[in-house]
Amino acid sequence: MLVVMRHDSTPAEVEAVCERITSLGLTARPMPGGERVAVGVLGNHGPVDPARFHGMPGVAEAIPVSAPYKQVSREWRHDQTLIRLDNGVTIGGPEVVVMGGPCAVESEDQLMRTAERVREAGGTVLRGGAFKPRTSPYAFQGLGLEGLKLLAKARERTGLAVITEAIDEESARMVADHADIVQLGARNMQNYALLKVVGTLGRPVMLKRGLSATISEWLLAAEYLLDAGLHDVMLCERGIRSFDAATRNVLDVGAIALARNLTHLPVVADPSHATGRRELVAPAARAAVAAGADAVIVETHPEPAKALSDGQQALLPDDFATMVRQLRAIAASIDRPLATLP
Ligand code: PEP
Ligand code: MN
């Protein structure tokens, strides 16, 4: 339930609505908006009777929120969430953001070379895993804290913002200290204990869709982050499992368009993990931007053959630059510029 206040309502009237909600044993979430305040009602297990608010001074209307997720829904908040990064780039606005970098941070040389090329190509955010959730325990697990320090150094050198994955509470605290965006991976989408912690760290989060998560499960996972107090949350469609392994996963382009309708949170697309094959990454990225993605996150490596993870899907820097040029044209066709560094 959302209690929408009249535009001329007073703070005392808003307070009275909050008290009415609390007296029903529920939680009130006042949300100042551009034009008028709305008060969200949380904690109800069944429908709340709108009549309880009708006729209260200052109340314009009481609207039931039908979706199982509340705070992430467009019903709850109509205006798009804008995530402003320290390097001046905003995610979720008219501009489409390009994030690029290696699957994993491997060495200073590898990361700096990649970061320079991402920036030259027109990317504005650098990706690179320091904590890697690998399918095999014998595969490269990441450089950990050393990797985070290298990412921070690359940010200083290039002006790119930094996104990197956290895999547990300990790494999440370290990532929040070093990076601009905390990535929560597909394998952790339903790690609710982790979501509750990361929602309190105050850093923007990119939540990847689980390997076989429904859109509703994905949005409910994001709801955990908002319920823990975080506003700067973006979703990432990274492909879902199907019966056919010819492509690593299936990029759910419809989910990108649908998520843009269902929620006010920015939607990112990851064509690298969705396709798993270098030659399919740029076409999938183009489709994602055409479908309305607010950002793409793409793996690139100066020497993919030597990559310690996901080399088969890494674009060469030149091919990454070509892809960015194509994305700029596609974004322009739907009246969206690509974000640039100031
Ligand atoms: C990654 O971004 O390198 C990664 C492990 O992604 P996902 O969680 O989507 O598999
Ligand atoms: Mn990867």
**pLDDT bucket at 66, cuts 50 / 70 / 90:** confident
- Which residue CA neighbors atom 9 of ligand 1 most closely? 186
Cα 266 to Cα 228, 269, 300, distances in angstroms: 18, 10, 23
Would the pLDDT of 129 be above 90?
yes
Predicted pLDDT at 288: 98
213 C-beta closer than 6 A to ligand 1: no
Instruction: Check: CB of residue 63 under 8 Å from CB of residue 5.
Output: no
248 C-beta closer than 6 A to ligand 1: no
Instruction: Check: CB of residue 92 under 8 Å from CB of residue 234.
Output: yes
Predicted pLDDT at 171: 98
- For domain 83-333, give its CATH number from 3.10.129.10, 3.40.309.10, 3.20.20.70, 3.30.1370.100: 3.20.20.70
Burial class (CB in 10 A: 0-12, 13-18, 19+), 137: exposed
Cα 238 to Cα 9, 45, 126, 250, 255, distances in angstroms: 43, 32, 17, 8, 10
Q: Write out pLDDT tens, residues 175-201.
A: 999 999 999 999 999 999 999 999 999
Atom number of ligand 1 nearest to Cα 239: 9
Cβ neighbours for 232, distance < 8 A, ≥ 6 positions apart? 81, 83, 203, 204, 205
Predicted pLDDT at 342: 84
Burial class (CB in 10 A: 0-12, 13-18, 19+), 273: buried
Predicted pLDDT at 33: 73
Q: If you measure from the C-alpha of residue 104 to the centroid of ligand 2, how many angstroms do you get, rounded to a whole number?
A: 7
- The CATH code belonging to domain 2-63 is 3.30.70.1140
Look at 37-46, 216-225, 252-261, 323-332 and tell me which has the smallest mean pLDDT.
37-46
Instruction: Check: CB of residue 218 under 8 Å from CB of residue 235.
Output: yes
Predicted pLDDT at 209: 98
Q: Mean pLDDT of all residues in the chain?
A: 96
Predicted pLDDT at 212: 96
230 C-beta closer than 6 A to ligand 1: no
* Domain boundaries, given as residue ranges, for the chain: 2-63, 83-333
DSSP state of 93: S
Pick from 173, 158, 140: which is nearest to 100 by CA? 158
Distance CA(85)–CA(160), nearest Å, equals: 10
Instruction: Check: CB of residue 197 under 8 Å from CB of residue 172.
Output: yes
Q: Write out pLDDT tens, residues 239-260.
A: 999 999 899 999 999 999 999 9
Distance CA(74)–CA(221), nearest Å, equals: 16
Predicted pLDDT at 65: 87
Nearest ligand atom owner, CA of 314: 2
**pLDDT bucket at 46, cuts 50 / 70 / 90:** confident
Structure tokens at 173: 């605290």
Look at 73-82, 196-205, 210-219 and tell me which has the smallest mean pLDDT.
73-82
- CA 158, 159, 160, 164 torsion-angle sign: positive
Angle between helix 108-121 and helix 145-158 axes, rounded to 10 deg: 40
- CA 182, 86, 270, 310 torsion-angle sign: negative
Distance CA(334)–CA(308), nearest Å, equals: 37
